[in-house]
Amino acid sequence: MPKVVRFHRTGDASVLQLDDLPRPEPGPGDVVIDVAAFGLNRAEIMFREGNYPQYAPELPSTIGYEAAGVVAAVGKDVASVAVGDKVSTVPSFKMGPYWTYGEVALVPEHAVAAYPDRLTPAEATAIWMPYMTVYGALIHQAKVSSGDHVVITAASSSVGVAAIQMVNAVGGITIATTRGANKRDFIRAQGADHVIVTDDENLADRILEITSGKGAEYVFDPVAGPQVAELARAIAYQGTVFVYGRLDPKPTPFPVNYGLSKGLTLKGYSLFEVINFPDIYKRGIAYVTEGLARGDFNPVVDCTFPLEQVADAHRHMESNTQTGKIVVVTSPS
Amino acid sequence: MPKVVRFHRTGDASVLQLDDLPRPEPGPGDVVIDVAAFGLNRAEIMFREGNYPQYAPELPSTIGYEAAGVVAAVGKDVASVAVGDKVSTVPSFKMGPYWTYGEVALVPEHAVAAYPDRLTPAEATAIWMPYMTVYGALIHQAKVSSGDHVVITAASSSVGVAAIQMVNAVGGITIATTRGANKRDFIRAQGADHVIVTDDENLADRILEITSGKGAEYVFDPVAGPQVAELARAIAYQGTVFVYGRLDPKPTPFPVNYGLSKGLTLKGYSLFEVINFPDIYKRGIAYVTEGLARGDFNPVVDCTFPLEQVADAHRHMESNTQTGKIVVVTSPS
């Protein structure tokens, strides 16, 4: 029986375990994938902890949004993919009924997409969450265009890297931030126009300096917390701060003074704002596929773990030392 | 010499004094108005206190954004108005160099607009700040349309009343809030579909009840402070809270959890987002003028004070007991 990662109670990384489960039978519209590699997201840490804002796990719960592999079986009415297709998954389903962590994955048909031959399976697990997340906020909603300054905080994450590449591709000016100097070279290598090391430099002062005092038109921030007030100080008139995570658990202020004087927008955002709208979702898939084909978008893998070390992989993500996607590779049982 | 209201130091209402000043000579593009009445805004309280987010007073400073009266003199190059025209002023200039509190007002030409004959001068001081403020946020930016639920907090203010009327005029559903039951009848008489008395009822629960659990698409809020978290609880998916004031000086949170799960937008807003953009400004003037002509928009005066009691008029505004615009009427010296 194939091994599938599950947790029987919420908690820290140690709750993740490998359960031997019967091969899933795909229901109508569902797809079973023999997984070559699966990628980790912070959403799964929150889900594992029982802190995911969108929904709670039903225990025992499977987990996982992203994987790459080969289609092993398809359910009734599945028309767009066939057994043997090389695919990766778009995180557009509910974890629990569906999952990607394991030797096999079960996902709905709409969540299955082809990926370019030039990518390894590990790289193919680093496409959809990062690039679709950025697509929804910065391309679809904000319509970032040439000359816009975009501050990308926690820029060494896979979403941060995708944001650098996607903003660069439309001619925007990327101001990437990271806490420690050790990630500076990595971020610059991803194409960031400016890198701010927040342990060493004043965030708002540097943004204002880079933008000649005008401030940045957009901020794309998974950190939240008190730093948002600093970002608001460095935002341009009628600028927008997208908050798409809360790495900092401390309360997040809405700085009313800058709000009123600058017409500041603070917008919570998640990938669900793409997934819940089939038309936007379809356009996102096409947009990202084209960027990958052109070579503008290049998913970055931090490192890979074997399946048995999935808990260590989660701990590595929690250490915040990674640059790019953390991937678990499987080998058939 | 005409009396003009000035303050020589920032502070409470008692700093307002009547100074006898020479009649102003209009510079190029400027207009002098013999004032029949001037209207009060919270912006002027903040300005008087030295807390106005947009700019600080240079002392001694004149004050005031809104007045109605008759054009007494025009400067070089003024073409759109002439001596003898009955006009009111649009708050689209810097207080200090320009003003409206006094027997005479000095304003730039673009800030002068005609008003319908059916309005008294006192009513004509209650047009532009309220209706243009609402226009910018709810009509121009949000594009509120038929069936949208709009929560209007502090609904008994002149801006609140304008919001009720303007949302009703486009077919939106108005949910007006007020702290005490004493203003309920007034607000209902302005056409609010629902009134929530927040001293007696749970704000979020009632909004969710009225919207059948879906939440309100928009909130239009001059209060800010901790109540914003309650409003976020009662907002619809991808809803927007406009914060256009800070009656509550306590810190305002950005509720990240609702932010992420609902894609919540919290937007600071001021009338400057209309004034700073000539095209939007022009469309706003036309939109409001049409609504006044149709009779959909009806400015409401709370009460009038004589010029000598301008400080009392400010104190009355600070008491938060008013319903509609507080107006000071002058008599020629």
Q: Is B226 on the interface with A (CB under 8 A)?
A: no
C-beta of residue A134 within 8 angstroms of C-beta of residue A220? yes
Residues A255 and A316 in one domain: no
Q: Determine whether the interchain pair A254/B243 forms a contact, defined as Cβ–Cβ distance below 8 Å.
A: yes
Stretches where chain A sits below pLDDT 70 are 332-333
Residues B33 and B120 in one domain: yes
**Edge-to-edge, what's the strand order for the sheet holding A3-7?**
A16-20, A3-7, A61-62
Mutating which of B55, B260, B274 best tests the A interface, going by the most A Cβ atoms within 10 A?
B260
Q: Determine whether the interchain pair B263/A272 forms a contact, defined as Cβ–Cβ distance below 8 Å.
A: yes
Tokens read off for A205: 């002062």
Please, what is the angle between helix A310-318 and helix A42-49, to 10°? 110
C-beta of residue B328 within 8 angstroms of C-beta of residue B305? yes
Q: Which residue of B has its CA nearest to A274?
A: B263
C-beta of residue B175 within 8 angstroms of C-beta of residue B193? yes
- Rounded Cα gap, residues B254 and A251, in angstroms: 8
Stretches where chain B sits below pLDDT 50 are 332-333
C-beta of residue B190 within 8 angstroms of C-beta of residue B161? yes
C-beta of residue A111 within 8 angstroms of C-beta of residue A251? no
Give chain B's largest Cα–Cα span. 62
Residues A307 and A176 in one domain: no
**Predicted pLDDT at B320:** 86
Taking alpha carbons only, the member of A242, A187, A191 closest to residue A219 is A242
Indicate the Cα dihedral angle A40, A41, A44, A49, nearest 10°: 110
Q: Is B296 on the interface with A (CB under 8 A)?
A: no
Enclosing H/E stretch for A311? helix A310-318
Q: Determine whether the interchain pair B265/A268 forms a contact, defined as Cβ–Cβ distance below 8 Å.
A: yes
Displacement of CA B328 from its chain's centroid (Å): 16
With beta carbons under 8 A apart, name residues in chain A contacting B246. 256-257, 260
Residues A221 and A173 in one domain: yes
Q: DSSP 3-state assignment of B240?
A: strand
Paired with A213 in beta bridges are none
Q: B40: distance to nearest CA of chain A, Å?
A: 19
Tokens read off for A172: 């925007």
Q: Is A249 on the interface with B (CB under 8 A)?
A: no
Residue in A260, A266, A269 nearest the CB of B254: A266
Residues A201 and A244 in one domain: yes
Q: Residue A60, preceding bond cis, omega within 30 degrees?
A: yes
**Residue B144, burial from CB neighbour count under 10 angstroms (0-12, 13-18, 19+):** buried
Residues A227 and A325 in one domain: no
Q: Is B257 on the interface with A (CB under 8 A)?
A: yes
- Rounded Cα gap, residues A243 and A176, in angstroms: 15
C-beta of residue A85 within 8 angstroms of C-beta of residue A71? yes
Q: Determine whether the interchain pair B266/A270 forms a contact, defined as Cβ–Cβ distance below 8 Å.
A: no
**Predicted pLDDT at B316:** 97
Q: Is A261 on the interface with B (CB under 8 A)?
A: yes
Which of B230, B258, B273 lies at the terminal end of a domain, its last residue?
A: B273
Enclosing H/E stretch for A150? strand A149-152
**Is B207 part of a structural domain of the chain?**
yes
CATH code: domain of residue B115 = 3.90.180.10
C-beta of residue B84 within 8 angstroms of C-beta of residue B26? no
Residues B173 and B263 in one domain: yes
With beta carbons under 8 A apart, name residues in chain B contacting A263. 267-270, 272-273
Q: Determine whether the interchain pair B252/A257 forms a contact, defined as Cβ–Cβ distance below 8 Å.
A: no
Whether this model's ipTM surpasses 0.95 comes out as no
**Is A88 part of a structural domain of the chain?**
yes
Residues A110 and A151 in one domain: no
- Rounded Cα gap, residues A110 and A91, in angstroms: 10
Tens digit of pLDDT for each residue in A145-170? 999 999 999 999 999 999 999 999 99
Q: How many structural domains does chain B have? A: 2
Q: Burial code of B49-74, b = ≥16 C-beta within 10 A, e = fewer?
A: eeebbeeebeeebbbbbbbbbebbbb
- Rounded Cα gap, residues A63 and A5, in angstroms: 7
Tokens read off for B279: 């095209």
Residues B209 and B103 in one domain: no
- φ and ψ at residue A140, rounded to 5 degrees: -70, -50
Residue in A224, A253, A260 nearest the CB of B268: A260
Displacement of CA A117 from its chain's centroid (Å): 22
Q: Residue B60, preceding bond cis, omega within 30 degrees?
A: yes
**Is B97 part of a structural domain of the chain?**
yes
**Predicted pLDDT at A54:** 83
Q: Determine whether the interchain pair B254/A257 forms a contact, defined as Cβ–Cβ distance below 8 Å.
A: no
Q: B23: distance to nearest CA of chain A, Å?
A: 33
**Is A285 part of a structural domain of the chain?**
no
Residues A48 and A97 in one domain: yes
Q: Is A233 on the interface with B (CB under 8 A)?
A: no
Q: Is B167 on the interface with A (CB under 8 A)?
A: no
- Rounded Cα gap, residues B98 and B28, in angstroms: 13
Residues B243 and B232 in one domain: yes
**Is A295 part of a structural domain of the chain?**
no
Q: Is A42 on the interface with B (CB under 8 A)?
A: no
Q: B256: distance to nearest CA of chain A, Å?
A: 7
Taking alpha carbons only, the member of A175, A168, A136 closest to residue A153 is A175
Residues A252 and A138 in one domain: yes
Place of tokens 């940045």: A216
**Is B291 part of a structural domain of the chain?**
no
**Predicted pLDDT at A331:** 75
Place of tokens 């009779």: B295
**Is A180 part of a structural domain of the chain?**
yes
Paired with A31 in beta bridges are A74, A107
Paired with B164 in beta bridges are none
**Is B240 part of a structural domain of the chain?**
yes
Q: What is the residue range of A144's domain?
A: 129-273
C-beta of residue A258 within 8 angstroms of C-beta of residue A280? no
With beta carbons under 8 A apart, name residues in chain A contacting B238. 273
Q: Is A270 on the interface with B (CB under 8 A)?
A: yes
Place of tokens 């700040």: B129
